[in-house]
Structure 1
Amino acid sequence: MWTLTADKEWAQLEKAFDWVRDMKSTPQDARHHAEGDVAVHTQMVLAELTELPGYQRLDAQSQEVLWAAALMHDIEKRSTTVLESDGRITSRGHAKKGELSVRAWLYQHTNVPFEIREQIAKLVRYHGLPLWFFEKQNPERAILQANLEVNMLWLGMLAEADSRGRICEDQADLLYRNGLFKSYCEELNCWERSFAFPSDLGKFLYFRKEDQAPDYEPFDDMQGEVILLSGLPGTGKDTYIQKHLAGYDVLSLDDIRRRLKIDPTDAKANGRVIQEAKETAKGFLRKKQPFVFNATNINRSMREIWIDLFTSYGAKTKIIYLEVPYRQLLWQNKNRAYPVPDAVLARMLGKLEVPALWEAQEVKYVVS
């Protein structure tokens, strides 16, 4: 069974983890957190979590996952907390940044299995959703998107512990919102299960079209396929192509850069690389010819730009995400023909967004 640490005493946690020590010096707004700093709040959340009947009914491994997420849920308040001009203390974006930090730290410093790491990272990312989902532009879509990435029952327990583990005047309202979240998930049939989309295409289009219902089954007239590889440098994308995708044409951003003798860090010149890649892709797409798009594609917004292009030509997109253990990644990167500097690789790891199931018609994780 995986566990972040066997010793869960707070004093020991402070000794073991620098990000726990940082919580003590991170203030919070007294209107929402009269209990004090992030360290005090996090200890209260952990205490409340372990007392929840639902938590106590979980198996030991599930408890460890949820406990780790609770410990790390506000990890990036340390970097996002600011004192506003009106005297308020805010930490906007701490959940999104927290997901990236949690993923990178767990990947580098623990032997956590991929599935467990991603659950912890996503619980951190979505821990505020049960409190604010009704303020989203499309609450239904926000819920179903999260449902494809995280266990909603665990998310509800984390949010309840987060609401109870503080001192504030609106605590009753926060708990009421938690109840609404559970009720809405049950109404959508995604509380203790994954929502059953009618097809992969129906799922894909639901998250791309504002007026599409989640249970709508669209006619599949897509032709051609693009396999979009995603992964850090050194994960073995070229090797994977040779072993499993040998019959496909390959569009590689690195190949274009080397042919044009453009440095990957030259942002201005890389615009030329992207433009040439788009024109080559359009040639394949017009002919409905399947091909592999080989690039790191670690950023969701960048993947979305390419998938928009592929979809506009009526092609299906399949994402294949590759990952190897951290030490193996460093070794493989070092022994590549064109290794990426360690500092650049570290920055890329800090920005890694693992592809979600809703990003394409099919998403496959090749993790060793």
Structure 2
Amino acid sequence: MSTGRATGKEPNFGLNGQVFQQQQVNWALIESFDWIEPLRTCPQEPEHHGEGDVWTHTRMVIEALLGLPAFQELAEREQSLLFHAALLHDVAKPQCTIIENGKISSPRHAKIGEKVAREILWDCEIGFREEACALVRQHGLPLWIMDKPDPIRAAILASWRVRNELTYLLAKADVLGRISTTCDELMYRADLFQELCLDNHCFEKEATWFNAHSRYRYFWSEETYPVEIFDDTAFEVIILSGIAGSGKDTFYAKNYAHLPVVSLDEIRRELKIRPDDRDGQGKVAQVAYERAKEFCRRKKSFVWNSTNLTSELRARLHNALRVYNPRFKIVYLETSQENIFSRRKEDIKSSVLTRMIGQLDMPLVGEGHEVRWVRS
């Protein structure tokens, strides 16, 4: 599904250099992509989308975006970023759309859309890709943030992924690119989002922090912003994350061989449990947690080497170990899909690797004291 370059090392800011250049859209090339056709046949609720199908709406959003004076003033990279986010913002609607009692809705299309967009943009420059995915995930946030239990917290956390200013512009284009009697109300909601972000100094940049420990504590607790907490951590837990075949073992050998490691792959080999043996994974995890807690009790830094693909799995590890007050460092490792499938073809089925790619939740700023993304 991806049309990016093979390695991802180049500054490849988008699907194809010919798709969007100097504010000009190559519609013919875009419409050749296989994921466009489902958008053409996907209906939308007429009350909110009188223009009709998702592809018609998507084109209208892009045209509205290009017409915004604020968009025209942006640098080339940011223009390309917003263009790709607008192109992909409803990409998951076809698989999320349901019709109940005559009403059309698409629950969770932004959350699933982030994952679909990541697969499509996989071989783009990783920072660019993840900002585009964040915009896909958060494109509706400006319109509904005031319905959140804590709107300020939602705005601050959103600013960690991509500038709220860009999310605001995408939301405005999303409203302008539709036919609905609710457009005025939605635009008012977007403007409230802008004011909220400006009041909390997180519109044009990420919210600022006293230190990394304060940011980490804010992410994992109900602390009120701003947070000022002294960093009293005494040792480090380095969490390697990445799809099987991404190079975690090699990265450990090159960078952290001086530290002990809790490796789930090694434990599987010790226990003679295959990676695709679901019944045996509980025993593997039990042994791994016991070893990790022993290092923590001794205040000894170590590396946790596993896929750690979902936010749920990483949260489980954090909740088990943070009582020991370590400093968490997350290193996410990635390579091309071609490398992933070729490196692990002997021991992991391609269907399992494909499922891993679809499950991936990128480690976010704040999940650890330090979070790095490394593409090779």
TM-score of the two chains, using structure 1 as the length reference: 0.94
Map of 1:81 onto structure 2: 97
Deviation at 1:281, TM superposition (A): 1.2
Partner secondary structure for residue 119 of structure 1: helix
Contact 2:276–2:348 (CA under 8 A) maintained in structure 1: no
How far apart in 2 are the matches of 1:344 and 1:351? 10
Shift of 1:93: 0.4
Q: 1:343 aligns with which of 351, 361, 365?
A: 351
Partner of 2:304: 293
* Aligned: 1:209 with 2:221: yes
Q: Distance in 2 between matches of 1:170 and 1:105?
A: 32
Instruction: Confirm or deny that 1:126 pairs with 2:138.
Output: yes
| Separation (CA, whole Å) in 1 of partners of 2:28 and 2:179 | 22
Cα distance in 1 for partners of 2:280, 2:75 equals 53
Is 1:218 the counterpart of 2:234? The answer is no
Is 1:29 aligned with 2:19? no
2:286 is matched with which residue: 275, 282, 290? 275
Is 1:196 aligned to residue 213 of structure 2? no
C-alpha contact (below 8 Å) 2:90/2:110 kept by paired residues: yes
Query: Structure 2 matches for 1:237-256, cutoff 5 A?
Result: 237-256=248-267
Alpha-carbon offset, residue 143 of structure 1: 0.9
User: How do 1:60-75 and structure 2 match up within 5 A?
Assistant: 60-75=76-91
Deviation at residue 94 of structure 1 after TM alignment: 0.5
* In 1: Cα distance, 2:158 partner to 2:323 partner: 26
Query: Which segment is superposed worse, 357-366 or 44-53?
Result: 357-366
Q: Report the residue type matching 1:95 in the other structure.
A: A
**Does the aligned pair in 2 maintain the 1:4–1:64 contact within 8 Å?**
no
Residues 171-200 of structure 1: CA distance to partner in whole angstroms, max 9, x if unpaired? 100000110111111011011111111111
Aligned residues: 359
**Are the equivalent residues in 1 in contact too, given 2:241–2:308 (CA < 8 A)?**
yes
Runs of 4+ in 1 over 6 A off after TM superposition: none
**1:361 is aligned to 2:369:** yes
Q: 2: distance between equivalents of 1:233 and 1:265? A: 12
Return the alpha-carbon distance in structure 1 between the equivalents of residues 313 and 149 of structure 2: 23
Deviation at 1:366, TM superposition (A): 1.8
Corresponding position of 1:54: 70
Query: Which one-letter code corresponds to 2:51 in the other structure?
Result: E
Shift of 1:135: 1.1
Q: What's the CA shift for 1:40?
A: 1.1
Q: Give the C-alpha shift of residue 327 in structure 1.
A: 2.8
Q: CA separation in 2, counterparts of 1:297 and 1:266?
A: 17
Q: Which amino acid aligns with 1:103?
A: R
Distance (whole Å) between structure 1 residues aligned to residue 197 and residue 312 of structure 2: 27
**Shift in CA distance, 281/2, structure 1 to aligned 2, threshold 3 Å:** closer
Tell me the residue number matched to 1:103.
Answer: 118
1:237, 1:294 within 8 Å by CA — same for their partners in 2?
yes
Structure-1 residue corresponding to 2:109: 94
Measure how far apart 1:11 and its partner are: 4.3
Give the share of equivalent positions with the same residue, in percent: 40
Q: Secondary structure at the match of 2:309?
A: coil
1:260 corresponding residue in structure 2: 271
1:311-348, Cα deviation, whole Å (9 max, x unpaired)? 112111110111123333334334xxx64222211111
Name the structure 2 match of 1:318.
Answer: 329
- Conserved 8 A contact 1:251-1:280: yes
Q: d(CA) in 2 for partners of 1:53 and 1:148? A: 25
The unaligned stretches of length 5 or more in structure 1 are none
Contact 2:220 2:367 (8 Å CA) reproduced: no
Q: Which deviations, in whole Å up to 9, do the C-alpha atoms of 1:192-232 show, x marking residues without a partner?
A: 1111111111001112221x122221122222211000011
Q: Secondary structure at the match of 1:19?
A: coil
Q: Secondary structure at the match of 2:331?
A: strand
The TM-score, its normalising length taken from structure 2, stands at 0.92
State the distance in 1 between where 2:230 and 2:130 align.
Answer: 33
Aligned residues of 2:14 and 2:121 also touching (Cα < 8 A): no
